Structure 1
Amino acid sequence: MTARVPIGIVMNGVTGRMGYRQHLVRSLLAIREQGGLPLRDGSRLWPEPVLVGRNEAKLRDVADRHGLTDWTTDLDAALARPDVSIYFDAQVTSEREKAIGLAVAAGKHIYTEKPTATTLHGAVELARAADTAGVRHGVVQDKLFLPGLRKLDRLVRGGFFGRILSVRGEFGYWVFEGDWQEAQRPSWNYRAADGGGIVVDMFPHWHYVLEQIFAPVRAVTAHVTTHIPRRWAEDGQPYDATADDAAYGIFELDGGVVAQINSSWAVRVNRDELVEFQVDGTEGSAVAGLRRCRVQHRAATPKPVWNPDLPSTDDFRAQWQEVPDNEVFDNGFKAQWEMFLRHVVEDAPYTWDLWAGARGVQLAELGLQSAREGRRVEVTELRS
């Protein structure tokens, strides 16, 4: 019989949408459903979640729903347990820095959602503290594991594009204001005092997508705004939306690549997926979304002619070729969890640490600075 090796994981924030659905159900519980995580010695690692949160009723409901019994509202007590090795954080952004600091002080390995802190200073201090404590640390960078972006990364590494010229990204959807239809995002996302704002939320994503697939970001120019200034909270009461809900950014990358990404919670979708990136190079182009990726090679590029006096007869979308899967794509959050768990117990390679998280926070801060000052801002290298 295969040996089962338990590993205790404090999961803080599992009553929220992301913490519950992606990290608990579709990651750790999914690993248990497959019989644990196979290790090199033939044993199987068995995650033992310890659910932590502030709302006792919600915690009990989540635990009962999945046959779990280990939950508490006392974070300090959970971190003091010797059978816990990892602390995971999916709380609201404003609560994250303090909790991770406590976990580092308790000697726990750290795995966390992004952004890792509300300020660059806080994010850097967490990374330094974790390094000093000698604990392993990782940051969720889930979009790197999306099938569409996995295929895009495959094209980049295979040299499909030749010299990459530009990246254009469109992300977002209409988030209902909450008056006549319930909002599909929590109200704290639209209050600056609670750590809300699309720049703080999405620029760390764009940072790791650009850095990991293409090249490091060297400068940013951004325009940030709040298109919808009044929204309605979960209790039906109106509130002032003080955080930005749209950002329009230009990112300059190493090698002369120019990336332009629009992010908005006040846009109606007229594209195939909620996020899409078009990459243009001297030898070919690609359009990648969450799952699909289509290409057009230089040799197969048509020759459009501008003539506004006649209707176009070109079916432009039909001129692109679908990139095959060529592999089975697991849930991206689960795949990264498995990599981090192997990093902790087997010293497997892992690059997406708290320093990577800090670089994402840095880009968000610089984007807000660019918008505030109306100028291009260079990105300096972080020092450990």
Structure 2
Amino acid sequence: MATRRIGIIVNGATGRMGYRQHLVRSLLAIQDQGGVELTGGDRLLPELLLVGRNEEKLTAVAKRHGLTQWTTDVEAALADEDYEVYFDALVTNLRVANLKKAITAGKAIYTEKPTAESFADALELARLAKEAGTVSGVVHDKLYLPGLLKLRRLIDSGFFGEILSVRGEFGYWVYEGDWQAAQRPSWNYRAEDGGGIVADMFPHWNYVIENLFGRIADVYAQTATHIPARWDENGTRYTATADDAAYGVFRLENGIVVQMNSSWDVRVRRDELVEFQVDGTKGSAVVGLHSAHIQPREATPKPVWDPDVKDGHDYFDDWIEVPDNETFDNGFKVQWEDFLRHYIEGRPYPFDLLSGARGVRLAETGLASSAEGRRITLDPLTEV
């Protein structure tokens, strides 16, 4: 079987997500395994061109991993015909301009989300890509994680019967930065820099919900900036201008009600940093990024409400853990492989810039719902 090389421009290779998840755990891991296996047995081996704004950081990353191709000149990278895929892991407020350049340069596009700060810009990107015949993909990593793959298996098997509702809890305590360093960058808490938990997480919830449960028909959300002052990477106090918590209710076209709580101001008392409880007529499941526990109708206990008597029943013990039954690879890496296979084999990729635009729309609509104090209807968006 033959091995084909494919040139990939990695813009934002020194950032937290670009470096850790996409460069080290995905693209370099794919190189180490000998490439992506294609239909028919051929292999596709990535060749990487790192792009960034800080020459010193780029040089350090390249040397650390034995890479020889890097530049601070994105225009020069896009002009290089040896690299046909452009990947973007920049901060959101730099993404639109660079994606437009990549479309103009005739590159295939794979990008982090959100794809833009506004729905109008995200939709324009999808339109420009369609007009140019650009193959595009947007990171939908959570769909490739073990817990949600198990959930997909449960849904497809009919385990739930009729799904009634979904309740999701996401978040953890992010230190303010005064007495312990914050574990998230300070721009996340400045709206003027594209920060905010709605902009960050609602695009995730959109693709999770629409691909597992159904299309979101309307949204009601309440946002908050619970912690008004934080300290940045230099120890300087600043005013938080972006939302750090959001409480959303999404009604789906098929009648399922989804409630999602997202917060960087919550202390965790659950198995994982995000969990979804799915309740159906025939059974329920509690699913995280890796684990899944189920309770079928036949094994559901019969609680009796009596607040005057301490309840000694262990409700956690009533749940059954879903086994892996397969080996799960890194979700980011698996999606990279999936996108590259679709691109090389000429198959339509479902998680494209239009899918990304729907995620940006949900974030924008969630913010509007909170500001206006009302439920907002979302029309279908299946074409530009």
Q: TM-score, normalised by structure 1?
A: 0.98
Contact 1:89 1:96 in 2 (8 A): yes
Contact 1:220 1:377 in 2 (8 A): yes
- 1:287 partnered with 2:263: no
Deviation at 1:373, TM superposition (A): 0.2
Q: How many angstroms apart in 2 are the aligned matches of 1:72 and 1:119?
A: 29
SS of 1:250's partner is strand
**What is aligned with 1:53?**
52
Q: How many angstroms apart in 2 are the aligned matches of 1:302 and 1:308?
A: 18
Deviation at 1:4, TM superposition (A): 2.7
Structure 2 unaligned blocks of 5 or more: none
**What is aligned with 1:308?**
307
Following superposition of structure 1 onto structure 2, how do residues 182-221 of structure 1 map, counting pairs within 5 Å?
182-221=181-220
Deviation at 1:349, TM superposition (A): 4.6
**What is aligned with 1:156?**
155
Contact 1:339 1:348 in 2 (8 A): no
Q: How many angstroms apart in 2 are the aligned matches of 1:53 and 1:369?
A: 34
Instruction: Show CA shifts across 1:139-178 (max 9, x none).
Output: 0000101111111111111111111110000000011111
Q: How many angstroms apart in 1 are the aligned matches of 2:226 and 2:353?
A: 32
SS of 1:14's partner is coil
**What is aligned with 2:372?**
373
Deviation at 1:40, TM superposition (A): 2.9
| Range with bigger deviation, 34-43 or 226-235 | 34-43
SS of 1:255's partner is coil
**What is aligned with 2:352?**
353
Instruction: Show CA shifts across 1:94-120 (max 9, x none).
Output: 100110000000000000010000000
Aligned AA (2:143): L
Instruction: Show CA shifts across 1:20-50 (max 9, x none).
Output: 1110011110011101112234332110111
Deviation at 1:348, TM superposition (A): 3.5
| Range with bigger deviation, 214-223 or 7-16 | 7-16
| Range with bigger deviation, 164-173 or 323-332 | 323-332
**What is aligned with 1:104?**
103
Q: How many equivalent residue pairs?
A: 383
Q: How many angstroms apart in 2 are the aligned matches of 1:40 and 1:356?
A: 25
Q: How many angstroms apart in 2 are the aligned matches of 1:306 and 1:349?
A: 52
Aligned AA (2:364): E
Deviation at 1:314, TM superposition (A): 0.7
Q: TM-score, normalised by structure 2?
A: 0.98
CA RMSD, Structure 1 to Structure 2 (Å) = 0.9
Contact 1:190 1:243 in 2 (8 A): yes
After superposing on structure 2, the runs of 4+ consecutive aligned residues of structure 1 that deviate more than 6 Å are none
- 1:30 partnered with 2:29: yes
Structure 1 unaligned blocks of 5 or more: none
Aligned AA (2:16): R
| Range with bigger deviation, 278-287 or 42-51 | 42-51
Q: How many angstroms apart in 1 are the aligned matches of 2:357 and 2:75?
A: 25
Instruction: Show CA shifts across 1:68-109 (max 9, x none).
Output: 011111000000001010000111111001100000000000
> Taking structure 1 as reference, are residues 161 and 116 closer, same or farther at Cα in structure 2, changes over 3 Å only?
same
**What is aligned with 1:343?**
342
SS of 1:256's partner is coil
Q: How many angstroms apart in 2 are the aligned matches of 1:204 and 1:215?
A: 15
**What is aligned with 2:264?**
265
